[in-house]
Amino acid sequence: MAGSTDFDLYRPAEEHDMLRDAVRSLAEAKIAPFAAEVDEDARFPQEALDALTANDLHAVHVPEEYGGAGADALATVIVIEEVARVCASSSLIPAVNKLGSLPVILSGSEELKKKYMGPLAQGEGMFSYCLSEPDAGSDAAGMKTKAVRDGDFWVLNGVKRWITNAGVSEYYTVMAVTDPEKRSRGISAFVVEKSDEGVSFGAPEKKLGIKGSPTREVYLDNVRIPADRMIGEEGTGFATAMKTLDHTRITIAAQALGIAQGALDYAKGYVQERKQFGKPIGDFQGVQFMLADMAMKIEAARQLTYAAAAKSQRGDSDLTFQGAAAKCFASDVAMEVTTDAVQLLGGYGYTRDYPVERMMRDAKITQIYEGTNQVQRIVMARNLP
Ligand SMILES: Cc1cc2nc3c(=O)[nH]c(=O)nc-3n(C[C@H](O)[C@H](O)[C@H](O)COP(=O)(O)OP(=O)(O)OC[C@H]3O[C@@H](n4cnc5c(N)ncnc54)[C@H](O)[C@@H]3O)c2cc1C
């Protein structure tokens, strides 16, 4: 097919365009009006959760056989991108629902999938992902949380840190050490429920950005769960956690892309309105060149991200490199573009009266979570194409 690209080989592009239009309308009508308030008050974007759930967009990746929308990886990216364009905090609802539940989808038993994917798809409970700990961030395999077998049960003890949507989510994929001798091969994954005895949460972190997305510690104090809540075989939890990130780093790239596009769109409008030296600042070539560079970088990030989504969908062997590259590149672009958007708004851009200040703060996290951009470079270097 002439003009065909890597990312439109497995699904007609038309469907994706229609989805984008629908999500953009919904996001502008139901999510954008609350974005500044959610940031200012550092409160959970309940309006976004309600709107996304009502339109079956809160966890689009859940396969149809488990009652989900069955969206492919590119469709999921488009949903996250369009929500992030107006509110980065809200985009963490579909993004983290995928992150938290993908270990079950990739490695869980049929029973586990049936038990948890239905409620997730129905909007009855969100999923979080618990890998990081106070002393185990980039070196996630250095975790200390333990799971000890006790007959037909496992007993979990430890502290997970920086857990997105903790307290709001019903379900938690928790990685824990089951054999301390084996380091990463001695880590197993489990589904823990908020209502399990011994589960509690720390105070919400006070953050620079994505203030509407709660980030809290998760405390596991003698949490006793049935053995069939283990995801996959004993000792495969770390591999599952890393495989999950190969797919979900693309969703962070999508989030970065959306934030950057939101900032560009706002700046584009502003430069037509703002007059200095007797004309709109958008008439100055220095300003036009900045906008051109911003748009160019966003488009490059978009192509990389969509190509990575296609690889995720197909399970290509170079997904690890491509997912890391998309996340790293798109998040760096988001930081540059949002900083430039603030610049284009001058002093006004530096205030909370305009959204680009929030977008610049929100963009920063995309360079840090699901592995810092230094870690992405380590991943890429180990998996060079
Ligand atoms: C808002 C927020 C939400 C998050 N959500 C989740 C979540 O839902 N679930 C979850 O499990 N985790 C989550 N995280 C954790 C996140 O993934 C970690 O913060 C991240 O992986 C970095 O770990 P760290 O903070 O311990 O930094 P560190 O690992 O201590 O890194 C500090 C610095 O050292 C650099 N560094 C470390 N090792 C190397 C190396 N080998 N080479 C070069 N540089 C290196 C890092 O790049 C970084 O610049 C979240 C974090 C935040 C802030």
- pLDDT tens digits, one per residue of 17-63: 999 999 999 999 999 999 999 999 999 999 999 999 999 999 999 99
Q: Using alpha carbons, list the distances in angstroms from residue 321 to 46, 148, 247, 250, 305.
A: 35, 35, 11, 11, 12
* Distance separating alpha carbons of residues 33 and 53, to the nearest angstrom: 17
Out of 3.30.470.10, 2.40.10.170, 3.40.50.2000, 2.40.110.10, select the CATH number for domain 127-235.
2.40.110.10
Per-residue model confidence (pLDDT) at position 13: 78
CA of 133 to the centre of ligand 1 (A): 10
Q: Locate CATH 2.40.110.10 in the chain.
A: 127-235
pLDDT at 12 over 70: no
Nearest to 133 by CA among 157, 162, 156: 162
Best probe residue, ligand 1, of 159, 162, 172, 365 (max atoms within 8 Å of C-beta):
162
Q: Locate CATH 1.20.140.10 in the chain.
A: 238-382
Mean pLDDT across 277-306: 98
Mean pLDDT across 166-180: 98
Phi, psi of 277 (to 5 degrees): 55, 30
pTM over 0.95: yes
Burial of 383 per CB tally in 10 Å (0-12, 13-18, 19+): middle
Structure tokens at 69: 């929308």
Question: CATH number of the domain at 6-121, please?
Answer: 1.10.540.10
3-state SS, residue 355: helix
**Residue bearing tokens 């070196």:** 139
Ligand 1 atom with the smallest distance to the CA of 160 is 11
- The catalytic residue among 81, 217, 357, 370 is 370
218-272 residue pLDDT tens: 999 999 999 999 999 999 999 999 999 999 999 999 999 999 999 999 999 999 9
- Catalytic, 15? Answer no
Q: Using alpha carbons, list the distances in angstroms from residue 278 to 273, 281, 316, 348.
A: 12, 9, 55, 19
CA of 140 to the centre of ligand 1 (A): 9
Per-residue model confidence (pLDDT) at position 4: 42
Answer with the residue of higher pLDDT: 137 or 5: 137
